[in-house]
């Protein structure tokens, strides 16, 4: 027995010595590795990454945000540098001799004292994203190695969506061409950047390497110890939000809760605030400008950020949002834009023409923790070009590609304000531009005071309505009354009240305002008053003014864009964008046909939420389309302009634009929707049958001597009628009408074939054969 005890003792001693040696070996390894101390202390060298953290971090609410830092060329139009691929709350959980990285699900909730909370927990088991053997847990610190996790394509990262994996035939990440790049820790966050490389057997055009390489950034962020009080969404006020399902609801179902995303603003002096005095917040929202921001633009960025202070004053706060130039390394060696304690405006040297305003929020409450606005350098070019094309006729300052610095600065200021609006919690509000009467946009007094739309969160960038001779016009957007209203609703502070009590107070606030066009909110949908890139409350009138201006621009485009000794590259670029401007103006009007006006209401407010656009407005829209589309717009392809850069002419472009407009009007989905809404919603609007009749009359029967552009459109209309009759999704009643139209058109064309004009005779004969062949197949 003594021998057995001695043997056990010896083995235990040997195992203890081995463990002690292993711990000492790890300590000696870590001592030689570069260390970054913070929320999670990291040790990183030669693709080896260790996390070291105290036990207090275990089961602490953390947020892991994954973003694309760099990505392949031509990869996706909808993903760019800075795009978020995943955002999830996580816990580090100790299980035996391992640490599990667990995703904490926050969507389904219940009162902890409600028995149903047991069922919520049982039916929402948190997934384990990874498990790491504990390398050391001496004292209170735990050490794990996470190298393989960040060197792999974990499904939780969601780097490449399944659709793109399938489209490009992307394989598994190549370990040999993937690596961890940088690791850095701060008091409230840890940042890991790594590279993942994938083989692809069907890459986009221009990629001859059959390779996609991405650089990924992961942020692990400590969530607030004291969660902010939530604010419930009101659908009548636009706000980014979170969706949750409350199983403790008194409703006989899980009650959907929507919380808004907003910064935590609390007054320093609650007593003064309660008396209606403007009060500074305990913690203002502060943005630091990237040191890479060109000095001449910094003042405009600062103005664009701090412009929101006027809106915050409506909520009772002064100096609520501030902009500062980031300190240099010499001034503050501890400052880093990657530190979650600092929100920044990044200036990126890139050919991308865009700017974005992302933010990170607490998934428990919606509290915005930090934000990084990204400005891509070439975004200036887009705004300069559109400034010339949309305002040049009435605005002498826009008649050059060498736009005055103060004009460019004003555009940048307003773009930054727009992106800051997103970072404050506001989504786009495309309905706001319809709040202003079109004629008021020609008034200097009105536009200087009210801007060109009721919010800067609409895509109402320039005043294209103002005409030559109009005086003192504001051409660039600015903040408006809706911005004041939305910020007051979202940030007004109510001391000593619950979220439910706040909801009741704010509901009354919205009830009194939401039916006023100045304070309406709306997305894109099928509402012609909620379109992107438009201004004014009458698209026919606004687009008529816009086209009148665009014709002036077309005549002067060469002289405004090209000086002696230059080639015509700029002219060609601006010409292509001019066609895009024309197309936008037309599509604004097209959306009226079959449109349904939406007004977001709660019961008890006056009005009808959904109403068909009336017949007169739709007929006016069709008349506009007839005048400005079906009637060939040869000013768009003037040979004096096109001959300077187009080898083969541009007539085909004009024809294709006309076809695309016709496709929109004769789309089966649109016609079915018109058929449905015409029968079930209030309002007297065009039926789809009336629309098809009008198109046949306007494009075919009323044009007795069609020219080459009109002939192409006529053939396309016949083609569309044939395709509609074959479309399986088209309502049967509309199929019957399409067939009847084809018979009527066929009879008419046979009569027209008797013409002595051989070109027209051949044209009509061709369409007759199209219809006869289609009818034979149908029989």
Residue 152 is predicted with a pLDDT of 85
The whole-chain average pLDDT of the chain stands at 89
Task: Break the chain into its structural domains and give their ranges.
Answer: 1-32, 35-222, 270-537, 592-631+666-778
Does residue 345 come out as left (phi exceeding 0), alpha (psi in the -120 to 50 range) or beta? Answer: beta
DSSP 232: B
pLDDT at 6 over 50: no
pLDDT at 454 over 60: yes
Q: What are the two backbone dihedrals, phi and then psi, of residue 626, each rounded to the nearest 5 degrees?
A: -60, -45
Strands 98-104 and 141-145: unpaired
Taking alpha carbons only, the member of 757, 748, 777 closest to residue 767 is 748
Does residue 732 come out as left (phi exceeding 0), alpha (psi in the -120 to 50 range) or beta? Answer: alpha
Is the distance from CB of 54 to CB of 60 less than 8 angstroms? no
Is the distance from CB of 126 to CB of 102 less than 8 angstroms? yes
pLDDT at 607 over 80: yes
Among the listed ranges 6-10, 476-480, 761-765, which one has the minimum average pLDDT value?
6-10
To which H or E segment does residue 447 belong? Answer: helix 444-450
DSSP 696: H
Helix, strand, coil in percent for the chain, rounding step 5: 45, 20, 40
To which H or E segment does residue 575 belong? Answer: helix 569-590
Q: How far is CA 17 from CA 12, 25, 133, in A?
A: 8, 12, 19
Residue 22 is predicted with a pLDDT of 57
Whole-prediction pTM? 0.89
pLDDT in tens, 622-642: 999 999 999 999 999 999 999
Q: How many Cβ atoms from other residues are within 10 Å of residue 78's Cβ? A: 8
- 3-state SS class at 438: helix
Length of the chain: 779
pLDDT at 224 over 90: yes
Planar angle of CA 196, 201, 203, nearest 5 degrees: 75
pLDDT in tens, 716-735: 999 999 999 889 999 989 98
Which residues, in sequence order, are CB contacts of 551 under 8 Å at separation 6+?
635
Rounded distance between C-alpha atoms, residue 49 and residue 58, angstroms: 19
Cα Rg for the chain, rounded, in angstroms?
32
Contacts made by residues 689-693, CB under 8 angstroms, sequence distance 24+? 689/734, 689/737, 691/593, 691/594, 691/622, 691/665, 692/666, 692/721, 692/734, 692/737, 692/738, 692/741, 693/741
Which residues, in sequence order, are CB contacts of 747 under 8 Å at separation 6+?
none
DSSP 339: S
Q: How many Cβ atoms from other residues are within 10 Å of residue 134's Cβ? A: 15
pLDDT at 13 over 50: no
Taking alpha carbons only, the member of 371, 374, 497, 365 closest to residue 426 is 371
pLDDT in tens, 300-343: 999 999 999 999 999 999 999 999 999 888 888 888 888 889 89
């Amino acid at each position: 027995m003594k021998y057995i005890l001695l043997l056990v003792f010896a083995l235990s001693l040997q195992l203890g010595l081995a463990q002690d040696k292993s711990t000492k070996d790890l300590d000696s390894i870590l001592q030689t590795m570069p260390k970054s101390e913070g929320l999670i202390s990291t040790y990183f060298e030669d693709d080896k990454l260790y996390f070291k953290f105290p036990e207090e971090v275990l089961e602490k609410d953390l947020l892991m945000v994954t973003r694309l830092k760099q990505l392949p060329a031509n990869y996706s139009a909808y993903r760019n540098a800075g795009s978020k691929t995943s955002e999830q709350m996580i816990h580090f959980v100790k299980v035996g001799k391992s640490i599990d990285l667990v995703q904490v699900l926050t969507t389904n909730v219940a009162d902890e004292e409600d028995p149903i909370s047991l069922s919520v927990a049982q039916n929402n088991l948190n997934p384990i994203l990874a498990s790491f053997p504990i390398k050391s847990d001496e004292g209170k610190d735990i050490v794990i190695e996470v190298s393989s996790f960040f060197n792999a394509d974990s499904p939780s990262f969601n780097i490449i969506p399944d659709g793109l994996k399938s489209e490009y035939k992307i394989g598994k990440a190549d370990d040999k061409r993937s690596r961890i790049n940088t690791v850095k820790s701060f008091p409230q966050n840890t940042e890991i950047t790594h590279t993942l490389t994938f083989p692809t057997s069907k890459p986009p055009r221009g990629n001859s390497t059959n390779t996609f390489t991405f650089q990924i950034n992961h942020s692990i962020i400590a969530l607030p110890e004291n969660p902010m009080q939530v604010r419930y969404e009101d659908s009548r006020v636009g706000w980014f939000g979170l969706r949750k399902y409350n199983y403790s609801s008194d409703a006989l179902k899980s009650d959907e809760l929507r919380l808004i995303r907003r910064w935590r603003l609390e007054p320093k002096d609650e007593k003064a605030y309660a008396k209606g005095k403007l009060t500074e917040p305990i913690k203002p929202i502060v943005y630091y400008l990237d040191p890479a921001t060109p000095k001449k633009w910094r003042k405009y960025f600062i103005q664009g950020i701090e412009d929101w202070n006027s809106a915050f004053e409506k909520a009772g706060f002064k100096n609520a949002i501030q902009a500062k130039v980031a300190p240099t390394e010499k001034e503050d060696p501890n400052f880093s834009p990657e530190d979650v304690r600092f929100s920044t405006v990044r200036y990126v040297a890139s050919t991308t023409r865009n700017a974005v305003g992302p933010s990170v929020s607490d998934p428990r409450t919606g509290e915005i923790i930090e934000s990084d606005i990204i400005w891509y350098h070439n975004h200036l070019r887009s705004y300069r070009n559109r400034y010339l094309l949309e305002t040049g006729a009435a605005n002498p300052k826009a008649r050059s590609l060498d736009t005055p610095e103060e004009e460019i600065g004003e555009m940048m200021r307003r773009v930054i304000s727009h992106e800051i609006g997103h970072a404050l919690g506001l989504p786009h509000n495309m309905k706001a531009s319809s709040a202003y009467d079109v004629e008021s946009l020609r008034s200097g007094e009105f536009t200087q005071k009210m801007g060109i739309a009721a919010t800067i969160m609409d895509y109402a960038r320039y005043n294209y309505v103002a005409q030559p001779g109009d005086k003192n016009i504001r051409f660039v957007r600015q903040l408006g009354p809706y911005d004041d209203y939305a910020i007051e609703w979202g940030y007004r502070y109510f001391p000593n009240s619950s979220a439910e009590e706040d909801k009741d107070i704010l509901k009354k606030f919205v009830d009194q305002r939401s039916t006023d066009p100045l304070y309406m909110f709306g997305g894109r949908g099928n509402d012609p008053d909620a379109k992107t890139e438009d201004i004014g409350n009458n698209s026919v009138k606004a687009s008529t003014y816009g086209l009148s201006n665009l014709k002036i621009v077309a005549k002067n485009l060469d002289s405004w864009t090209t000086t002696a000794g230059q080639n015509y590259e700029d002219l060609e670029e601006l010409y292509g964008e001019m066609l895009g401007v024309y197309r936008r103006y037309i599509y604004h009007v097209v959306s009226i046909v079959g449109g349904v006006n939406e007004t977001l209401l709660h019961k008890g407010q006056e009005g009808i939420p959904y109403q068909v656009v009336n017949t007169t407005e739709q007929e006016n829209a069709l008349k506009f389309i007839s005048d400005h589309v079906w009637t060939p717009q040869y000013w768009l392809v003037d040979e004096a302009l096109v001959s300077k850069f187009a080898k083969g002419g541009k007539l085909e472009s004009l024809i294709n634009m006309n076809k695309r407009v016709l496709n929109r009007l004769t789309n089966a989905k649109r016609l079915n929707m018109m058929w449905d809404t015409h029968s079930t919603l209030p309002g007297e609007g065009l039926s789809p049958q009336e629309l098809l009749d009008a198109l046949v009359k306007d494009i075919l029967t009323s044009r007795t001597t069609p020219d080459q552009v009109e002939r192409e459109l006529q053939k396309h209309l016949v083609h569309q009628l044939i395709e509609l009759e074959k479309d399986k999704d088209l309502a049967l009643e509309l199929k019957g009408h399409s067939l009847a139209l084809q018979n009527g058109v066929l009879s008419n064309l046979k009569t027209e074939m008797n013409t002595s004009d051989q070109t027209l005779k051949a044209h009509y004969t061709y369409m007759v054969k199209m219809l006869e062949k289609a009818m034979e197949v149908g029989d």
